[in-house]
Amino acid sequence: MLNEILVTSSSMPSKEEFFEEISELWDTHWLTNMGIKHKLLQEKLENYLEVPHVILYTNGHLALENAIAALNLPKGGEVITTPFTFASTTHAIVRNGLVPVFCDINDENYTMDVNKIEALITDQTVAIIPVHVYGSICDVEEIDRIARKYGLKVIYDAAHAFAVKYKGASVACFGDASMFSFHATKVFNTIEGGAVCFKNDSWVQLLNDQKNFGIHGPEEVAYVGGNAKMNEFQAAMGLCNIRHLDEEINKRKLIVEYYIKRLSGIDGIKLPSKQKDVESNYAYFPVVFDGYKYTRNEVFTRLAEKGIAARKYFYPLTNGFECYRNYPTAGTEKTPIAQHIALRVLTLPLYADLRLDDVDRICNIILE
Ligand SMILES: *Cc1c(COP(=O)(O)O)cnc(C)c1O
């Protein structure tokens, strides 16, 4: 019986390394509320991501919700975003009392089609929330130009893009802020976790207070905040994983190159194209089956029958979710390219320790 292959497998340090990292916590008995590990990880990430400020969160979703809240946008304001993303992006907008307006994607790297943004801008538009989907970098220059022209805020959902660089610059430095997810399934994980990165010094206190019930001082509660703090065990996992990250990304690169070697040049199979000036993190391997001898769903089922879990990521589009059915801006027919890709894309298993003979097994099933 051949082993089952999951779509991903979390990166972990050795037990010894993690135990060593957390052993200090038995001396301090300080388990959360911005302890020593939290402080160390924050500094490490500010260096690694080359950004002045990193605020850590218990997960990426709350990081995004809090970043949007910090913009203090008028309720009912319209936010231009992409439906080709994880539920989190759209929910974070709506949970802040804002209205998502869905922009279609381009069919090259599946990020927001910047040529379609301006037509969606109205006098209610307050922000743009694009996604560096699969770790592909959005057209940050054009988005910046549009945001300046219309006075809009920009927050990037960079959940997929940790460690990616564009023209030598860290992905964390674009827009007003960027959100990262450190969920167990992401390239860099803190078990669960996330961060907001930005340059604006005046946001530091606000975001730090906001994630801790709005508590500003021992006897002062300045905001209606929630609780979104990263704890010490999460931060310790991050301190271990960041040591091995470059090596993990290199291993992913070899796997992606092998997939490309096995699957390129085949009619009806579209592979991710290399982006100009981008240093990738090899987070995902999305394959689009468009006119291939098997449909995406057939490939998905054939793999599943052999114990291999690929993922229909992203299907359905967020503008097709049941919970948004009555939203005037929803409807997958409004974003035809995103819908076309969502019906045909499959992300194949990819993680640092995936074996090349397992990649062969996967490709043989797809091609046979
Ligand atoms: C993972 C993910 C999130 C949410 O992050 P969590 O850490 O799981 O809360 C948000 N957006 C995208 C695109 C994601 O993939």
pLDDT digits (tens, 9 = 90+) for 21-55: 999 999 999 999 999 999 999 999 999 999 999 99
3-class DSSP assignment, residue 217: strand
144 belongs to a structural domain: yes
Task: Report the C-alpha gap between 52 and 50 in whole angstroms.
Answer: 7
Cα 365 to ligand 1 centre (Å):
30
Q: What is the pTM of this model?
A: 0.97
Please indicate, yes or no, whether residues 166 and 259 belong to a single structural domain of this protein.
Answer: no
Could you tell me if residue 223 is inside a domain? yes
Question: Does 4 map to a domain?
Answer: no
In terms of domains, do 211 and 301 share one? no
**pLDDT confidence of residue 1:** 59
The three-class DSSP label of residue 110 is coil
CATH number, domain containing residue 278? 3.90.1150.10
Regarding whether 220 and 266 lie in a shared domain, the answer is no
What is the CATH number for 49?
3.40.640.10
The DSSP code sequence of 124-166 is TEEEEE-B-GGGPPP-HHHHHHHHHHHT-EEEEE-TT-TT-EE
- Answer whether residue 106 is part of any domain: yes
Same domain for 322 and 276?
yes
Judgement on whether residues 155 and 22 belong to the same structural domain of the protein: yes
- Do 228 and 250 share a domain, yes or no? no
> Is 62:230 a contact under the CB 8 Å cutoff?
no
Phi, psi of 297 (to 5 degrees): -65, -35
| Cβ neighbours for 182, distance < 8 A, ≥ 6 positions apart | 60, 162, 188, 189, 190, 191, 192, 193, 194, 195, 234, 238
243, 259, 283 - which closes a domain: 243
Verify that 225 and 352 share a domain, yes or no: no
Residue 7, domain member (yes or no): no
- State the Cα–Cα distance between residues 119 and 358, nearest whole angstrom: 46
How much distance in Å is there from the Cα of 211 to the middle of ligand 1?
17
Examine the domain organization and report whether 238 and 340 are in the same domain. Answer: no
Q: How far is the CA of 294 from the centre of ligand 1 (A)?
A: 30
Indicate if 72 and 186 belong to the same structural domain.
yes
- Which residue, 243, 263, 289, sits at the end of a domain? 243
Q: Does residue 178 sit in the same domain as residue 190? A: yes
Ligand 1: which residues within 6 Å by Cβ?
Answer: 59-61, 85-86, 88-89, 131, 157, 159-160, 181, 183, 194
The best mutation among 157, 188, 234, 311 to test binding of ligand 1, ranked by most ligand atoms within 8 Å of the C-beta, falls on: 157
Domain that includes residue 250, residue range: 245-367
Residue nearest to atom 2 of ligand 1 (CA): 159
Residue 6 belongs to some domain of the structure: no
Is residue 5 situated within a structural domain?
no
Phi and psi at 327, nearest 5°, equal -75, 130
The rounded percent of the chain whose pLDDT value lies above 90 is: 97
Q: What is the pLDDT of residue 236?
A: 98
Q: What integer pLDDT is reported at residue 3 of this predicted model?
A: 83
Q: Is residue 2 included in any domain, yes or no?
A: no
Mutate to test the pocket of ligand 1, among 57, 89, 191 (most ligand atoms within 8 A of CB): 89
Protein residue with its CA nearest to atom 7 in ligand 1: 60
What's the mean per-residue pLDDT of the chain? 97
Distance CA 44, CA 271 (A): 34
Domain-ending residue, one of 220, 243, 266: 243
pLDDT at 41: 98
Residues 227 and 253 in one domain: no
Cα–Cα dist 303/366, whole Å: 8
Q: Which residues of the chain have pLDDT under 50?
A: none
* Pair (83, 188) in one structural domain: yes
Q: What was the pLDDT predicted at 367?
A: 97
**Looking at the 3D structure of the chain, how many domains does it have?**
2
